[in-house]
Amino acid sequence: MHRILVVDDDAIMRDMIRSYLEAEGHDVIEASNGRDALAKHRLSPADIAIVDIFMPTKDGIETILELRRMTPCPRILAISGGGEIGGLEYLSYAKVLGADGALAKPFGREDLLRAIASISFGDKPAPPL
């Protein structure tokens, strides 16, 4: 199973994701913003990071960019319920900037597990940017 960092400023969303993942046997670490997530990843690297795009302190795009420069670099799943920036959809933008996958909110348990499976490479580290 994977060590998964869940980064979202919404405590209810983090709790829901954690419960889905722990039920599958994953080890889950939570962070409420990008700055906290980066610090936690430095202390105890995650295999996968699930990163919300809209957060205070350090948003998801900044967090994804910094995670991609770290060693080891986790696989990254961007999540968002947000809309567009000048016609450019946020989740597409996150993938261009380094997310390995994207998942729109709201999502269910099966959607999340399918998205995690689609970006997982077993024990192989993510390729650096």
CATH number of the domain within which 20 lies: 3.40.50.2300
Asked if residue 127 belongs to a domain, the reply is no
Asked if residue 57 belongs to a domain, the reply is yes
Q: How far apart are CA 115 and CA 56, in angstroms?
A: 25
Asked if residue 125 belongs to a domain, the reply is no
Asked if residue 129 belongs to a domain, the reply is no
Asked if residue 124 belongs to a domain, the reply is no
What are the helix (H) ranges across 49-104? Answer: 60-68, 90-96
Asked if residue 40 belongs to a domain, the reply is yes
Asked if residue 52 belongs to a domain, the reply is yes
Domain housing 38:
3-119
Task: Give pLDDT tens digits for 10-56.
Answer: 999 999 999 999 999 999 999 999 999 999 999 999 999 999 999 98
Q: Is beta strand 88-89 parallel, antiparallel or unpaired with respect to 84-85?
A: antiparallel
Task: Give pLDDT tens digits for 82-98.
Answer: 755 544 478 888 998 89
Q: Is beta strand 75-80 parallel, antiparallel or unpaired with respect to 101-104?
A: parallel
Domains in the chain: how many in total?
1
Report the predicted TM-score, pTM, of the whole model to 2 decimal places.
0.89
- Look at residues 58, 54, 67, 56 and name the one whose alpha carbon lies nearest to residue 4: 67
